[in-house]
Amino acid sequence: MALAAILLLMLIGFCAGGFGALAGVGGGIIITPLLAIYFGLPMHQAIGVTLLCVIATSTATSALYVERHVTDVRLGMTLELATTAGALIAALVAHSVNRRTLAVLFACFLLYSSGSMIKKAWASRNAKREESVPDYTPRNYPVGLAASFIAGGFSGLLGIGGGPIKVPVMFLFMKVPLRVAAATSNFMIGVTAATSAYVYWGRGDVRTDIAAPLVAGVFAGSMLGARISSKVRSFYILILVVSITGWLAIQMIYKLLTGGFQ
Amino acid sequence: MSRQDVAADRVLSHTLKLGAYAALALIVGGLMLQSVAPWGAKVTAGGLLVLLATPVLRIVVACIQFLRERDLKYALVSFGVLAIVLLAYFLGVQA
């Protein structure tokens, strides 16, 4: 591959990883549509490459959050029973789902994620920073496990981490503090994405030439993003990321309506 | 959070860092080598394989930590997750 292309992919990975870590979303929702719309990659390949980026984000950010004891490893491990099961089933099925259907599902997920980020941005506009994590005991495991199974399914099907599904469920139904929910979701997405990545890799849907520079960028971006996340006002980051995901959603819908993603 | 949990978090965090830096070094090194030597691509692919292996490693390390804390319930849970992930690996290899 040309040097310019390698550097461009590294830059995209750096931005997606950095913004993702700052906004608390995996970079996946940015990378898959970018690859599918602007690089002309078939959806299955775009998803396969993104799964590796999700593992990279999870590994880089979790190293820091686990060190700071924000991640609830026991809760994460329990819910992973459901996310990995969902991801495995979905990854096996994904191969027989046609590209346009995947693109429609992905566009819906982009709109949903954009909506939930706007809500989060609105809530965070005057919020004070949470200094310490309050005591809690996770509740409602059946609801958490069911939501995790669905989030895992979406991860295997669309290559995303599924954070926008798991984090609200952990926060609202399991009564886990938001920071812990976000960090725990970050921990889980690596294991979930790896489960589907093995299936995609085995089928030859992971383009290593595209994945390598992207992953390198994502690593650097998310390490930096996670490190400075406590010092940056999340409001502006969220607005920026919503603008990107909103734009990508419009592009995907436009391409679908004009007969793309065949 | 118990002192054992704090220590377990440190071990897990070091594992994640080690995996991240090893994968990053191999990928970047491979990408640079690729322009002068054709076997550079193999180094890059090796980096991606390290990346793919880190999630399994983190489950194994967590499982060992739970066993050391005599927390059989969560050791068993980790073992269950490991079983599903390894099943995905073998199904993936066959595909």
Residue B23 in tokens: 């994968």
Nearest to A81 among B9, B80, B87 (CB): B80
- Among A100, A208, A142, A224, residue whose Cα is nearest residue B20: A224
> Is A39 in a helix, a strand, or coil?
coil
Chain B from 22 to 81: CB within 8 A of any A CB: 23-24, 27-28, 30-31, 35, 41, 44-45, 47-48, 51-52, 54-56, 58-59, 62, 74, 77-78, 80-81
Residue A258 in tokens: 């004009």
In chain A, which ranges are continuous DSSP H helix?
Answer: 3-23, 28-38, 43-67, 73-94, 99-124, 141-158, 163-172, 178-202, 208-228, 234-257
What would the pLDDT profile of B22-73 be if each residue is shown by its tens digit? 999 999 999 999 888 888 889 999 999 999 999 999 999 999 999 999 999 9
Residue B44 in tokens: 């890059």
pLDDT of residue A130: 58
Q: Residue A196: enclosing H or E segment and its boundaries?
A: helix A178-202
Q: A186-212: buried (b, 16+ CB within 10 Å) or exposed (e) per residue?
A: bbbbbbbbbbbbbbbbbbebbbbbbbb
8-state DSSP, A229 = G
pLDDT of residue A187: 92
- Alpha-carbon dihedral angle through residues B74, B80, B86, B90, given to the nearest 10 degrees: 180
- Among B39, B50, B18, B43, residue whose Cα is nearest residue B28: B43
pLDDT of residue A128: 60
Rounded mean pLDDT for each run of 10 residues along chain A, 262 residues in total: 88 92 79 90 92 93 90 94 95 86 88 85 70 81 94 89 85 88 91 94 91 95 87 78 88 86 72
Give the whole-angstrom CA distance, residue A130 versus residue A146: 29
pLDDT of residue A87: 94
Sequential DSSP letters for B22-77:
HHHHHHHHHHHHHTT-TTHHHHHHHHHHHHHHHHHHHHHHHHHHHHHTT-HHHHHH
Helices (H) and strands (E) in chain A, counts: 10, 0
pLDDT of residue A134: 78
pLDDT of residue B1: 63
CB–CB of A81/B81 below 8 Å? yes
| Residues of chain A found within 8 Å of residue B13, distances taken between Cβ atoms | 62-64, 66-67
What would the pLDDT profile of B66-93 be if each residue is shown by its tens digit? 999 999 999 999 999 999 999 999 988 7
pLDDT of residue A121: 79
pLDDT of residue A127: 65
> Is there a contact between A215 and B48 if contact means CB atoms under 8 Å apart?
yes
CA A188, distance to chain mean position in Å, is 11
> Is there a contact between B88 and A220 if contact means CB atoms under 8 Å apart?
no
Residue with tokens 């093995």: A198
- Least CA distance to A222: which residue of chain B? B20
